[in-house]
Structure 1
Amino acid sequence: MKRTPESAAFFFAPFVSSTMRIEPGWIDYNGHLNMAYYNVLFDRAVDEAFAMVGLGEDYVRERRASYFTAECHVQYKRELRLEDPVRATIQLLDFDEKRLHVYMELRHASEFWLSATSENMMLHVDLDSRKVAPFPADVFASLAIMKAAHSGLPHPEALGRVIGMPARARAAPSGVH
């Protein structure tokens, strides 16, 4: 069997997106990338990664199925400005017949500092019924190859974080009731 660039890409660990540019309309009144557009950049990168396993636009058109994000946890580490080129890494942490657990990092493309992380749970959805459905066997097999390639990566420190006030911060200051 002849190996194509698409099949070879399954073995990149983690997957690294192409370089992305920040659009002027995404900059907010603070002079940096508005928080919503971090998700746009992560979304574009994950689309690029999952196209490699057969879950691209052709899949949506031909098989009438896609993947939807069910839960997302973003941590903002360092602000991005208009001139900052970025790349995202994608690590497939786990998957089953209907779900994908993914960890992503957004980094400056030439200086490599970390700007944000995103942990996501995604669901495979039949677009006709709008219900969660199993992956087809060929996509499931490709996901298994990607997961195997990513299984040797270190466990991300940011994984599974819970949002909440630390216990010491919950106590009211003296004199405040």
Structure 2
Amino acid sequence: MEVLEPRNGEPSDLPTHRLKVEPAWIDTNNHMNAAYYTVAVKDAALYAHDTWDYGDDFRIRTGESNFVVDTQVIYLRELLLGAGLLVRTRILSVEEKRMSLLFEIFNDDLDYLAALVRYRVIHVRLGPPPRAAAIPSPLRRRLEMVRESHAKLPLPPGHERFRSSFSEDTRMSAPRGWVTRGERE
């Protein structure tokens, strides 16, 4: 993983991660296979969580973390073998137990937005079994401050193609088989 200072014109408030399209990511059409767009944002997500003190140190300290419960990808332009990628991470929303993240994947060599990836995550107390839990107040305040900073920046083109938000999707809940606080008590 390569984490660099923002270039001229890049928002400095957004955690930024750079990598390259790997040979194993290329499909028979000679472009990046759809499955690898989520691979491309994995390290960017880990880095962003560390900058918000919501990464490994937080998990070790508290026994809590978050799990991705929904991923959506909007493909805008193709990516080819060896292309430099720049991934920017922003917080779209923070709720009592949930958070929504947006990853912007750019072709860093040719300077175009190639894809958007949205994660919807749920905060958990690690188990067994893992349980959905409220985000601790100090962390939630920190994440909300970051979200407010990110909200000052314009959203990228294509973001309107994502499905509904948590607030609009009343069917969103903990994955099947998980015990939520209300069910156990």
* TM-score of the two chains, using structure 1 as the length reference: 0.76
Q: Which residue of 1 aligns with 2:110?
A: 111
Q: Secondary structure at the match of 1:141?
A: helix
8 Å CA contact 2:101, 2:119 repeated in 1: yes
8 Å CA contact 1:16, 1:87 repeated in 2: no
Q: Secondary structure at the match of 2:121?
A: strand
8 Å CA contact 1:108, 1:114 repeated in 2: yes
Q: Aligned partners of 1:141, 1:61: CA distance in 2, in Å?
A: 20
Q: Which residue of 2 aligns with 1:139?
A: 139
Tell me the amino acid that sits aligned with residue 99 of structure 1: R
Q: 1:22, CA displacement in angstroms?
A: 2.2
- Quickly say closer, same or farther: Cα 1:63–1:160, change in 2 above 3 A: farther
Q: Aligned partners of 2:26, 2:155: CA distance in 1, in Å?
A: 32
Q: Secondary structure at the match of 2:134?
A: coil
Consecutive unaligned residues in structure 1, runs of 5 or more: 1-10, 163-177
Q: Which residue of 2 aligns with 1:159?
A: 160
Q: Aligned partners of 2:42, 2:137: CA distance in 1, in Å?
A: 24
- Quickly say closer, same or farther: Cα 1:12–1:145, change in 2 above 3 A: farther
8 Å CA contact 2:15, 2:47 repeated in 1: no
Q: Aligned partners of 2:46, 2:111: CA distance in 1, in Å?
A: 21
Q: 1:106, CA displacement in angstroms?
A: 0.3
Q: Secondary structure at the match of 1:40?
A: helix
Number of matched residues?
152
Tell me the amino acid that sits aligned with residue 159 of structure 1: E
8 Å CA contact 2:88, 2:105 repeated in 1: yes
Percent of residue pairs bearing the same amino acid type: 27
8 Å CA contact 1:68, 1:124 repeated in 2: yes
- Quickly say closer, same or farther: Cα 1:75–1:160, change in 2 above 3 A: closer
Divergent runs of 4+, >6 A:
none
Q: 1:93, CA displacement in angstroms?
A: 1.4
Question: Taking CA–CA contacts closer than 8 Å with sequence separation of 6 or more, which of the two structures ends up with the larger relative contact order?
Answer: 1
RMSD between superposed Cα atoms in Å: 2.1
- Quickly say closer, same or farther: Cα 1:66–1:159, change in 2 above 3 A: farther
- Quickly say closer, same or farther: Cα 1:54–1:99, change in 2 above 3 A: same
Q: 1:155, CA displacement in angstroms?
A: 4.1
Q: 1:124, CA displacement in angstroms?
A: 0.8
8 Å CA contact 2:22, 2:82 repeated in 1: no
Consecutive unaligned residues in structure 2, runs of 5 or more: 1-10, 164-185
8 Å CA contact 2:92, 2:100 repeated in 1: yes
Q: Secondary structure at the match of 1:120?
A: strand
Q: Aligned partners of 1:160, 1:24: CA distance in 2, in Å?
A: 29
Q: 1:160, CA displacement in angstroms?
A: 5.2
Q: Aligned partners of 2:78, 2:153: CA distance in 1, in Å?
A: 26
8 Å CA contact 2:91, 2:146 repeated in 1: yes
Q: 1:111, CA displacement in angstroms?
A: 2.5
- Quickly say closer, same or farther: Cα 1:83–1:33, change in 2 above 3 A: same
Please state if 1:66 is matched with 2:65.
yes
Q: Aligned partners of 1:94, 1:12: CA distance in 2, in Å?
A: 19
